[in-house]
Structure 1
Amino acid sequence: MNVDEVKSILLQHLSLDEVYVTLYEDNYQIVAIGHVFYDMNELERHKIIYAPLMKYILNNEIHAISIQAFNPEEWNEKRRLCSISSSC
């Protein structure tokens, strides 16, 4: 499974504003931004991302996932901080 397929699955099943997917060895790194993440803790956000990918995880098409999920305000703040810091 390639990064475009993972991104497409997430966009088809979730109301997200933006999704970035990269692959490093066998670990998919997902950054998801959406209004759906307001008032959710990190575990709830991860469950939202895992749900449409679960069948691919169970049949070993996806081996490992790293998730960062933000609501739009958090994402804008992260981008602002990254623009003034080299730690991102």
Structure 2
Amino acid sequence: MNVDEIKSILLKDLSLNEAYVSLYEDNYQIIAVSHIFSDGMTELERHKIIYAPLMKYILNNEIHSISIQAFNPKEWNKKRGLCDV
């Protein structure tokens, strides 16, 4: 799998505002931004949402390792140093 395929799956299957996927060796790094990630949601709950559409690729070893960062738009803007709009 390449980064564009993973990004396409995430954007198609989830209500993401933004998705960034990169690959370092065999570890895919995913940054996902969406309103579906509420303020009270745990990191584990957010990760489960991202894993769901990718699970078949993990199980058949097309994806070996994933690092996930999931933000709602407010958190993402804060992380990037932008005002909350």
Instruction: Give unmatched runs, 5+ long, in structure 1.
Output: 82-88
Query: TM-score, normalised to structure 1's length?
Result: 0.90
Give the whole-Å Cα distance in 2 for the aligned partners of 1:75 and 1:47: 19
Aligned-residue CA RMSD (Å): 0.9
Cα distance, 1:40 vs structure 2: 1.2
Q: Kindly indicate whether residue 18 of structure 2 is the aligned counterpart of residue 18 of structure 1.
A: yes
SS of the aligned residue for 1:35 comes to coil
- Cα deviations by residue, 1:30-68 (Å, 9 ceiling, x for unpaired): 000000001311000000000000000000000000000
Name the residue aligned to 2:32.
Answer: 32
1:9-88 mapped onto 2 (5 Å cutoff): 9-38=9-38, 39-80=40-81
Amino acid aligned to 2:20? Y
Whichever structure has more helix as a proportion of its residues is: 1
Query: TM-score, normalised to structure 2's length?
Result: 0.93
Aligned residues: 81
